[in-house]
Amino acid sequence: MTVTSQAPARTDHVALAAELAGRFAERAAAHDAEASFPHENIRELVATGYTAMTVPREHGGGGAGLEELCRAQETLAAGCASTAFAVNMHVHGIAMIAGIGGPAAERAYHAIAHEGAVIAGGFSEPGVGGNWWHPTTRAEPVEGGYVLNGRKGFFTGFPAADLLFLSAARTDDRGLPEPVGFLVPKPEHGVTVTAEWDAAGMRATGSHTLLLEDLFVGEEHLVGTPGALPLMFMQGVHWAWCSFASVFLGIARGALDQVVGEQRGRTLHVLDRTVAHLPGVQFRVAEMRTRLAAAEAHLYQAVRADHATAIAADPLGHYIEMSVMKNSVCRLAHEVVTLALQVQGGSALLSAHPLQRAYRDVVAGLLVPPNSDVTAEWAGKHALGVPVFAEPRWEG
Ligand SMILES: Cc1cc2nc3c(=O)[nH]c(=O)nc-3n(C[C@H](O)[C@H](O)[C@H](O)COP(=O)(O)OP(=O)(O)OC[C@H]3O[C@@H](n4cnc5c(N)ncnc54)[C@H](O)[C@@H]3O)c2cc1C
């Protein structure tokens, strides 16, 4: 994405998101139909300083906190869910990396704030799925760094990425696999796209599948020290799961606005009034508002929690709280969009109708991390006082 000059960093990222969402909404249907990557949207996000939002101010960024990030992402997603989701790994990823700091983080701040660099992240792997703690991608130590071999699935935002945030396992001093993270400039060799993203939902996210083959990564690209990756996830999880939730909440809010706007002016031949006068429509719209309010309350309660105190008191409990919130918000968002389709009726399924795209996009919220079954297991065990990581996982 490298650009030579950028506008000064904006501080009103929610207002900026609202401006951009309107323009992105006009292009969303075409990108969805063609499964094309919205490069022009990402260029605008870079040029306006949106992608520098979460870079600390002292490093030339916008210094946005978690609430501003989530409000902005929610707003952007209501315009184009794919664009919001594609930039999400970048905007929350750099905030998480900032949590552990170090030279790789400082180089990334500079690249983002001054050169317009964009990050994409690959943790999921075919055969590992969402079990990120156990990458099968190997990082073999060699002089000056590591050689990586493995596969990555679902690499959202890859087409626009300048920096790849990659996980791999190295062998620790005890001979055990240890997950490590690298933030590496997109290399010319060693990374091949083996499958272009062709999916039912989030079609414009470029979430390609990659092969990493003898990819040399200098040790200066390690994020933090070896062993820092799990710490980064535990300490920064609220950035990840709150921002994910905000994207899907934004899709649901967009669906409500869409369906309400349309029913206000829509009449059917058998009615002498607008569809808005039908009780079924009114009850479903009321239900949508109720579920949206519950989702919003849960998300922003998690956003405003005292994360440092919660982590100090019970890091696993904090991780679980955030995971439960993300799954609950995404489930409610999916229900809201399903209700919107019922309010609209059969025309909601027509390819030209924005609700069918919202429906296909919001389903992704049920599938992206944290895994809902693992979250339920951890949350139940934690609440019941059953050791979360004891083996075997279940008795009987
Ligand atoms: C649109 C989209 C974009 C994405 N973008 C990215 C990205 O940019 N970077 C990235 O790294 N990943 C990305 N992902 C991948 C995502 O992070 C998940 O890894 C992926 O969806 C597979 O995880 P899963 O746990 O849902 O399914 P799988 O891991 O494939 O699991 C299959 C089934 O087994 C169950 N299961 C799996 N593990 C366990 C377990 N330990 N205990 C109990 N049940 C289990 C699951 O619930 C599911 O039912 C993306 C996914 C989507 C849909």
Contact (Cβ atoms closer than 8 angstroms) between residue 239 and residue 68 = no
129 vs 209: CA distance, rounded Å: 12
Contact (Cβ atoms closer than 8 angstroms) between residue 108 and residue 186 = no
Segment 150-157 shows an average pLDDT of: 96
Strands 119-122 and 163-171: parallel
Note the pLDDT tens digit of each residue in 361-382.
Answer: 999 999 999 999 999 999 999 9
Tokens standing for 44? 């605008």
Dihedrals φ, ψ of 250, to 5°? -65, -40
Strands 145-155 and 138-142: antiparallel
The residue whose C-alpha atom lies closest to atom 14 belonging to ligand 1 is 154
* pLDDT mean across residues, the chain: 94
pLDDT at 8: 58
Cis ω on the peptide bond leading into residue 370 (within 30° of 0)?
Answer: yes
The candidate with the shortest Cα–Cα distance to 38, out of 126, 157, 136, is 157
Place of tokens 């997109």: 186
Contact (Cβ atoms closer than 8 angstroms) between residue 241 and residue 326 = yes
Strands 163-171 and 208-218: unpaired
The residue whose C-alpha atom lies closest to atom 35 belonging to ligand 1 is 373
156 vs 204: CA distance, rounded Å: 9
126 alpha carbon to ligand 1 midpoint, in Å?
A: 9
pLDDT at 226: 82
Q: Domain spanning 13-118: which CATH class is it, in words?
A: mainly alpha
Q: Domain spanning 228-384: which CATH class is it, in words?
A: mainly alpha
- Sign of torsion, CA 263 34 18 89? positive
- pLDDT confidence tier of residue 9, bands split at 50, 70 and 90: low
CB atoms within 10 A of CB 133: 14
Is residue 6 pLDDT above 60, yes or no?
no
CB atoms within 10 A of CB 304: 12
The three state secondary structure string of 47-110 is HCCHHHCCCCHHHCCCCCCHHHHHHHHHHHHHHCHHHHHHHHHHHHHHHHHHHHCCHHHHHHHH
Tokens standing for 55? 């870079």
Q: Report the percentage of the chain scoring pLDDT > 90.
A: 88
Note the pLDDT tens digit of each residue in 250-299.
Answer: 999 999 999 999 999 999 888 889 999 999 999 999 999 999 999 999 99
User: Residue ranges per domain, the chain?
Assistant: 13-118, 138-221, 228-384
- pLDDT confidence tier of residue 227, bands split at 50, 70 and 90: confident
- How many residues appear in the chain? 396
Amino acid (one-letter) located at 155? F
281 vs 251: CA distance, rounded Å: 20
The residue whose C-alpha atom lies closest to atom 47 belonging to ligand 1 is 373
The candidate with the shortest Cα–Cα distance to 246, out of 67, 38, 94, 31, is 67
The residue whose C-alpha atom lies closest to atom 4 belonging to ligand 1 is 154
Pocket test for ligand 1, best of 125, 371, 373 (most atoms within 8 A of CB): 371
**Burial grade of 295 (CB within 10 A; 0-12, 13-18, 19 or more):** buried
Amino acid (one-letter) located at 145? G
Place of tokens 């990564």: 217
Tell me if 122 CB under 6 Å of ligand 1. yes
Tell me if 127 CB under 6 Å of ligand 1. no
Tell me if 113 CB under 6 Å of ligand 1. no
89 vs 181: CA distance, rounded Å: 14
372 alpha carbon to ligand 1 midpoint, in Å?
A: 9
Tell me if 121 CB under 6 Å of ligand 1. yes
Segment 46-52 shows an average pLDDT of: 97
Cβ-based neighbours of 347, under 8 Å, separated by 6 or more: 353
Is residue 152 pLDDT above 70, yes or no?
yes
371 alpha carbon to ligand 1 midpoint, in Å?
A: 6
Tell me the fold of 138-221: Butyryl-CoA Dehydrogenase, subunit A; domain 2 (2.40.110)
Higher pLDDT, 176 or 202: 202
Tell me if 7 CB under 6 Å of ligand 1. no
